[in-house]
Amino acid sequence: NYEIEVPEKLSGELRSLGLAIKSLAGRLKYLEKIRRESAADFSHELRTPLHNLKSTVEALEDGILELNAENLESINEEVDRITNLTGQLTELVELEKKLTDVNIETVDGNEYFNELLNFYVKKAENEEINYNYEVFAGLDRISLDRQAVEIILNNLITNAFKYTEAGGRVDVRVNLIDDNLRLEVEDTGIGIPEEEKDLIFERFYRTDRSRSRETGGSGLGLAITREIVAALGGDIFLEDSDKGSNFVVMLPQ
């Protein structure tokens, strides 16, 4: 059992140590989970392209299909799908390696987030997105794991850009609310249908809306994000938004 609670009365360095242990425990649980689930998930995802390949090749052998450009192209596409999946598996293993290094630090949140979020200004300009961020006051001493927070924000902001048309808006807000670091990424993009709001956090799930946009994507980003957030003892959810999507992450302090 990896459940660890950091006692309320701890403060200062002891509290940081407690949070580091809690985070390490969360990660162990997370790593165990990806080990258990990855093999099953990936072999499930491989099944369709392998099956398609096999039936095409058999049909060619039996002379039911002829070897023309169109059939070769469909073989090529299935091979690409398999290559793509293999690449994702490698990425997941890399991520797993990174996440074994726990590093909870006390940082000046103002400085840290302003610098981190400023990084996306150029990217926003290139994609003609109206991107703004706001780091609220009171964040001068917060505990966080830089690497984990960077992966979380990168996944959410990259998605917000990807699923928002040129001319749209992306707003990021960082705030401290009741002992929780609150990260919010709101966009005016294509949005997520109510009935798919839980599903998008599942591995490989992509909404029909996003599939039809040919933006490319693996459907892994949000699953990884949710697992990292859980490993840190936090929570991720969608808030209502007039137009587009509004992702909120809460990380305990």
Minimum distance from residue 81 beta carbon to ligand ADP (Å) = 14
Minimum distance from residue 94 beta carbon to ligand ADP (Å) = 16
* Residues from 9 through 38 that contact ligand ADP (CB under 6 A): none
How far from 31 is each of 22, 81, 100, 204, CA to CA, in Å? 14, 26, 8, 18
Q: For ligand ADP, which residue of 38, 147, 218, 253 counts as binding (CB under 6 A)? A: 218
Considering the rule CB under 6 A, would residue 159 count as an interface residue with ligand ADP? yes
Instruction: Kindly compute the dihedral angle of the four CA atoms of residues 128, 173, 236, 28, in this order, to the nearest 10 degrees.
Output: 100
Between 145 and 186, CB nearer to ligand ADP? 186
Q: Which helix (H) or strand (E) holds 180?
A: strand 180-187
* Residues from 179 through 208 that contact ligand ADP (CB under 6 A): 187, 189-192, 200, 205-207
DSSP collapsed to 3 states, 121-174: HHHHHHCCCEEEEEECCCCCCEEEEHHHHHHHHHHHHHHHHHCCCCCCEEEEEE
Considering the rule CB under 6 A, would residue 221 count as an interface residue with ligand ADP? yes
Q: For ligand ADP, which residue of 19, 34, 139, 160 counts as binding (CB under 6 A)? A: 160
200-214 CB burial, b ≥16 within 10 A, e <16 = bbebeebbeebeebe
Considering the rule CB under 6 A, would residue 163 count as an interface residue with ligand ADP? yes
Considering the rule CB under 6 A, would residue 217 count as an interface residue with ligand ADP? yes
Which parts of this chain interact with ligand ADP (CB under 6 A)? 155, 159-160, 163, 187, 189-192, 200, 205-207, 210, 217-223, 245
